Amino acid sequence: MRPFAVDLVLLRSTAPDLPLVVGRVLAARVVERNGRHGIISLAGAFLTAELPEELQAGDRLRLVVQQAQGDQVLLALAQEPPPLAEPPRALHDPVLAVAHERGAGEEEDRAHVVTVRFEGEALGTVELRIALDDALVHALAALAGGPVLELAREHAPSLRAALATAASRPAEVEIVERPRPLDVYG
């Protein structure tokens, strides 16, 4: 697939800290398509680009920076990893919060932890905590009880396999019920 160019000045004005080095992979989404051109959302910026024919509105992209100089950045679609089992559609809800922390204790010095919180109509609040150390990757997902929890438990082996492949080490997955919030105003 041939690369396409976007306005570097506009991108830098919206996302000045975005590292645009050759080979860097960036996440983007096609917002709108009109003929050969379209609008992509990249790092919070809405950019016009001449898009390859196969891209449609709503497509999520992994773009590789091929060149960044002058007033344009040249991007190409990244090679996609082999597809995994499609997660339930409801898991595509927007991410509201992401946190990254490093362990503070002696044993935890080599551990990296990422916590992601999803909010969605179908799922409610979902919290996912992934810890990665030298020997293991561990995921803990907390969801509301009922069908959502059962669906997540059903797909836990797929998540375990995907994490093990991505991290190149054994993976553990734990799916638990989120505590219900306490309403003290009722």
Going from N- to C-terminal start, the domains of the chain cover: 4-77, 89-177
CB count in 10 Å sphere of residue 49:
21
CA atoms within 13 A on the CB side of 49: 33
C-alpha 42/C-alpha 7 separation (Å) is 11
pLDDT band at 183 (very low <50, low <70, confident <90, very high): low
Tens digits of per-residue pLDDT, 84-119? 444 444 444 444 444 444 444 444 445 688 888 877
pLDDT band at 184 (very low <50, low <70, confident <90, very high): low
pLDDT at 1: 55
Q: Can you read off the two tokens belonging to residue 16?
A: 């000045």
Q: How far is CA 111 from the centre of its chain?
A: 20
Question: Taking residues 112-127, what's their average pLDDT?
Answer: 80
Of the candidate CATH numbers 2.40.50, 1.10.150, 1.10.1060, 2.20.100, the domain formed by 4-77 belongs to 2.40.50
Contacts of 23 (CB under 8 A, 6+ apart): 64, 65
- Mean residue pLDDT across the chain: 76
Whose CA is closest to 101, among 88, 114, 89, 110? 114
pLDDT digits (tens, 9 = 90+) for 133-172: 878 888 888 888 888 889 889 999 998 898 888 888 898 9
Counting every residue written for the chain, the total comes to 186
For residues 163 and 173, the answer to whether their CB atoms sit within 8 Å is: yes
- Radius of gyration (C-alpha) of the chain in whole angstroms: 20
Which residues on adjacent β-strands are paired with residue 25?
Answer: 64
Question: Which residue's structure tokens are 């204790």?
Answer: 105
Q: Is the four-CA dihedral 60, 64, 66, 70 of positive or negative sign?
A: positive
Q: At what angle do helices 156-167 and 147-154 cross, to 10 degrees?
A: 50
Q: What is the pLDDT of residue 174?
A: 92
pTM higher than 0.85: no
